Chains A and B, each alone.
Chain A
Amino acid sequence: MDPYIAGVLLGLVLLVSFYLTGRGLGASGATRSMVVSAVSAVAPGHAENTTFFHKYRSDESPMKSWLVLEIAGVIIGGFLSGAWAGRLKLKVEHSPKITPKKRIVMATIGGLFFGFGSQLGRGCTSGAALTGMATLSLAGFVTMMAIFGTAFALAYFFRKNWI
Chain B
Amino acid sequence: MGPIVPLFNISNEINLLMAFIIGLGFGFVLEQAGFSSSRKLAGMFYGYDITVLKVFFTAAITGMLGLIFLNFMGLIDLDIVYINEYYVTSSIIGGVIMGAGFIIGGFCPGTSFTAAAIGKIDAMWFVFGSIVGIFIFGEVYPLLETMYMSNYEGSVKISTILGIRDGYFALLLIVVASLMFWIGEIAEKKFKREDIIDEI
Name the distance in Å between A80's Cβ and chain B's nearest Cβ: 6
Residues from chain A with a CB closer than 8 A to the CB of B36 are 78, 82, 87
Which residues on B are within 8 Å of A, measured CB to CB?
2-6, 12, 15-34, 36-39, 42-46, 48, 51, 54-64, 66-67, 70, 75-76, 80-88, 90-123, 125-139, 141-142, 144-145, 148, 153, 155-159, 161, 166, 169, 193, 196, 200
Residues from chain A with a CB closer than 8 A to the CB of B15 are 21, 66
- If over half of B's interface residues share one DSSP class (helix, strand or loop), that class is named, otherwise mixed; here it is helix
Whether A27 lies near B110 (C-beta < 8 A) is yes
Residues from chain A with a CB closer than 8 A to the CB of B133 are 111-119
Number of interface residues, chain A, beta carbon within 8 A: 119
Name the distance in Å between B1's Cβ and chain A's nearest Cβ: 10
19 contacts between A and B (CB under 8 A): A6-B55, A14-B62, A35-B134, A73-B26, A78-B31, A81-B31, A92-B122, A107-B129, A111-B125, A115-B136, A116-B97, A116-B137, A119-B137, A131-B84, A142-B86, A146-B92, A146-B93, A146-B94, A161-B42
Residues from chain A with a CB closer than 8 A to the CB of B135 are 35, 39
- Interface flag for A45 (CB, 8 Å): no
Q: How far is the CA of A24 from the CA of B15 in the complex (A)?
A: 13
B19, B33, B70 — which one has the most chain A CB atoms within 10 A of its CB? B19
Residues from chain A with a CB closer than 8 A to the CB of B48 are 163
When the two chains form the complex, which single residue of A51, A103, A121 contacts B90, counting CB atoms closer than 8 Å? A121
Contacts A35-B131, A90-B119; A66 near B16 (Cβ below 8 A): yes
Contacts A21-B3, A154-B100; A114 near B26 (Cβ below 8 A): no
Whether A75 lies near B138 (C-beta < 8 A) is no
Contacts A82-B118, A128-B84, A132-B84; A20 near B5 (Cβ below 8 A): yes
Whether A73 lies near B19 (C-beta < 8 A) is yes
B4, B83, B94, B161 — which one has the most chain A CB atoms within 10 A of its CB? B94
When the two chains form the complex, which single residue of B19, B54, B63, B94 contacts A69, counting CB atoms closer than 8 Å? B19
Q: How far is the CA of A124 from the CA of B67 in the complex (A)?
A: 21
Whether B16 lies near A64 (C-beta < 8 A) is yes
- If over half of A's interface residues share one DSSP class (helix, strand or loop), that class is named, otherwise mixed; here it is helix
Name the distance in Å between B91's Cβ and chain A's nearest Cβ: 5
Indicate with 1 or 0, residue by residue over A17-34, a CB within 8 angstroms of chain B CB atoms: 111111111011001101
When the two chains form the complex, which single residue of A11, A125, A143 contacts B109, counting CB atoms closer than 8 Å? A125
Q: How far is the CA of A62 from the CA of B159 in the complex (A)?
A: 36
A residues 106-150 near B (Cβ < 8 Å) are: 106-150
